[in-house]
Chain A
Amino acid sequence: MTQETILIGLAGVLASAAPVIFAVLGETISERAGVINLSMNGTILLSAMGGFAVAYNTENIVLGFLAGMFIGALVALIVAFASITLKQSQVAVGFVLALTCRDLSYFLGNPYMGVPGPRLQAISIPVLSEIPILGQLFFKQDAITYLSFVFIFLAWIWIFRTRPGLMLQGIGEKPAAAYIRGANVNLMRYVYTVIGGALIGLTGPAYSLAIRAGWMGTISGLDGIGWIALAITIFGAWSPLRGAFGAYLFAFLQWLGLVLQPVLTTVPSQVLQVAPFPLMILTLLLVNIGDAEWVERTLAAMPESARKFLAKLLRAMRASPPAALGVPFERD
């Protein structure tokens, strides 16, 4: 393989991670505020279909992306209403919406199956795209990939470097304390869930109008992306930077699976394509296992040097969810 093909492949990895990044960022923001949006898998499919349909009918690609965001926000609003106002299980409502939106996208998307439609073009950024290696990787992408780069840092700055971001962490960790400090906990949860939903809604059109342009119904290959993004959110420990790293890692592994296919001929191609899933379970195990009681007991019984090293390793990988995740807030 030449250096050129590797570079093109890696640039493709950055682009194909972009949709997943929007989903991970949206879910991160929503869960930071204490609301699990489990509808993600369905939202992505419905926004992919809806975004494509709007862009196709209006011949305006931007409207397609906005439609996707609107769909995402609307679904998130249902999750927020059911869980915050009606105090129903977030998991139950989210799961039902995940299936319903998926089926709705297949039902409504039927007329658009396989129809050729608009597609986002790559924009080479002048001067910067001439830089060797980096130019090819970062500055010859399409607009939505550039947007993914920007959003990673915006989300990170918002959560960790601003006052409202501090409050956002508060309503997910200690809502009672945030309330005493003057935050309208439930209103803020509504707002962040809907904003998160709008971000998740960008994921669909990022596929159907860019990476895998068009709507192909059940064979779009989009079913499952939402569940992966959910796992990456946890892997990312509810941090935009670590979450984005997870998304890139996932895209890289998928690309690696494709590249290795001709080499590992004994392994059917379908198996390599799902290789990230066992890895996903493994990573979830690694980020959570430090909390298990038996691990603490085993560690305590170990010799000093090994214990210190292992404990450090486990702590570095560990990811604890916001303390009030999934817990409704009552004022009294």
Chain B
Amino acid sequence: MFRKLLINLGYQTAALLLAFGLVSLILLSVDASPLDAFRNMFTGSFGSLRKFAEVLVAFVPLLLVTAGLLVTFSAGLWNIGVEGQVVLGAISTVWVYRFFLESDLAPGLVITLAILGGMLGGAVWAAFAGILKVFGGVNEIFGGLGLNFVSTALTIYLIFGPWKRPGVASMSGTVPLPDQFSLAQVRVLPISPTALWIAIIAIVLVFIILQGTYFGLRLKAVGRNFRAAYMLGIPTWQYSMYSFLICGALAGAAGAVQVAAVYHRLIPSISSGYGYLGLMVAMLINYQAIWAIPVALFFAALNIGSIQLPIQMKLDSSLSGVLQGVLVLFVLLAAGVRQRFTRKV
């Protein structure tokens, strides 16, 4: 057991080193110092309390998305449509806010309703992908991708159409919502503790559902072997739908947080790509909920840290994406090498 853990750790470390090595070579190829780049990224994310709060701002939606994806992955589904589910969560949240714009309800209640509305919106969008899969035979990858594009179109339509700013519509988004509709922040720091709690409760709940409940066990049975699960009397397609709905609701919550705690309006890139990034996190942690928090935090730190690259070194901030991608790739390859190795022995 201990030896197995050690070997596992060895492979992960090797993958990490290879990833950093390859990215260093890429940096050298553009005449940039890898050490400078990594140092800038580190100080850009952990250098000050404010920077770290910004990392947490990115960490919240990323963790929510990852938590949701762990459920669909357990059911054997590749919910690539999660990106659109985040967007629809944001759209629904803004819609609820606009609905209560003139009402006398307490702001706290409106915020709660808006976040619940966002979760509902995400779940409905995920249900589309689920219905296409279950009743239409459309692979969730292709249905989801199509729905992602539609959700982007919907955002742009709302920003330039019905929800446009009075006067001139622009890519900067819709009219900002009133201040009392924002989730409270920690004094001058941008992070909202409520949002952080929502994300942490979500991942803990997902962990408990997957590890400690009969529902989670049956969900995994469906994911491992759909036919065998059906033979055992598990209502398979219903379980597929449940997993889509749970993931959609959590992705919707991520979108809701993006509106209620970060942007306070609808912008074209409201999802910030956290849906796709969540897929990477889920792959990197090999679909184990227990690792979600540290890895999501690491990825969020890379995203925020890379903002310094164009400022300090005139490099493109997409380097964080390259590093994340190369890391996941090497972990996948290392898993393959290891399986091949152990099979021969």
Give every chain B residue within 8 A of A288 (Cβ-Cβ).
136-139
- Tell yes or no: A323 within 8 A of B by CB: no
Q: Mark A3-39, 1 if CB is under 8 A from B, else 0.
A: 0000000000000000000000000000000000010
Complex formed: what's the CA distance from A86 to B339 in Å?
8
Closest beta carbon of chain B to A155's beta carbon, Å: 22
A-B contact pairs, 29 of them (CB 8 A): A38-B141, A78-B329, A86-B335, A86-B339, A88-B333, A92-B332, A95-B80, A96-B325, A96-B329, A97-B325, A100-B321, A100-B324, A100-B329, A101-B325, A104-B26, A104-B322, A106-B318, A224-B149, A227-B145, A268-B156, A268-B157, A270-B156, A277-B149, A277-B153, A278-B146, A284-B132, A288-B137, A292-B135, A292-B137
Complex Cα gap A224–B148 (Å): 10
**Across the interface, which residues of A come within 8 angstroms of B280, CB to CB?**
96, 99
**Within the complex, which residue of B26, B161, B324 is in contact with A107, where a contact is CB–CB below 8 Å?**
B26
Contact A86 B142 (CB under 8 A): no
A217 partner residues in chain B, CB cutoff 8 A: 316
A82 at the interface (CB under 8 A from B): yes
Q: CB distance B157 to A100 under 8 Å?
A: no
**Complex Cα distance A101/B324, Å?**
11
Q: Are A281 and B147 in contact (CB under 8 A)?
A: yes
Query: Taking the complex as formed, is B337 at the interface, i.e. its CB lies under 8 A from any CB of chain A?
Result: yes
Q: Are A284 and B143 in contact (CB under 8 A)?
A: yes
Q: Are A277 and B157 in contact (CB under 8 A)?
A: no
Rounded to whole angstroms, the CA-CA distance of A101 and B29 in the bound complex is 16
Kindly state whether residue A59 has any CB partner on chain B within 8 Å: no
Residues of chain A in range 207-235 having any CB-CB distance to chain B below 8 Å: 217, 224, 227, 230-231, 234
Question: Scoring B residues 301 to 320 as 1 if CB is less than 8 Å from chain A, else 0, what string do you get?
Answer: 00000000000000110111
Verify if A308 is at the interface (C-beta below 8 Å from B).
no
**How many residues belonging to A are interface residues under a CB distance threshold of 8 Å?**
49
Question: What separation, in Å, do the CA atoms of A277 and B157 have in the docked complex?
Answer: 15
Which chain B positions have C-beta within 8 A of A89?
A: 332
Tell me, yes or no, whether B340 is within 8 Å of chain A by CB: yes
How many angstroms from the CA of A303 to the CA of B212 in the assembled complex? 50
Contact with B along A104-132 (1 / 0, CB 8 A): 10111111000000000000000000000
CA distance A82 to B340 in the complex (A): 11
Once A92-B332, A110-B316, A277-B146 are accepted as A-B contacts, the answer to whether A103 and B321 lie under 8 Å apart by CB is: yes
A91 interfacial by beta-carbon distance below 8 Å: yes
Q: How far is the CA of A86 from the CA of B145 in the complex (A)?
A: 27
Chain A positions within 8 Å of B332 at CB level: 82, 88-89, 92-93, 96
B329-345 residues with Cβ-Cβ distance < 8 A to A are 329, 332-333, 335-337, 339-340
Residues of A within 8 A of B315 (CB): 107, 110
Interface string of A265-293 (1 = CB under 8 A from B): 00010110110011011001100111110
- Bound Cα distance A93, B335 (Å): 12
Q: Report the minimum CB–CB distance from A157 to chain B (whole Å).
A: 28
Residues of B within 8 A of A294 (CB): 135
- Is B160 an interface residue, CB under 8 A from the partner? yes
Interface-central residue, B320, B329, B337, by most chain A CB under 10 Å: B329
A102 adjacent to chain B (CB < 8 Å): yes
A97 lies within 8 A of B329 (CB):
yes
Q: Is A87 an interface residue (CB 8 A)?
A: yes
- B124-156 CB contact bits vs A (8 Å, 1 = yes)? 000000001001111101110111011011001
A284 with B326, Cβ < 8 A, contacts A86-B336, A92-B283 known: no
Contact A284 B138, CB 8 Å, known A103-B325, A274-B152, A277-B149: yes
Q: Which residues of A contact B186 (CB under 8 A)?
A: none
Is the CB–CB distance between B153 and A270 below 8 Å? Answer: yes
What is the CA–CA distance of A288 and B329 in the complex, to the nearest angstrom?
A: 31
Name the residue on A nearest B319 (C-beta).
A107
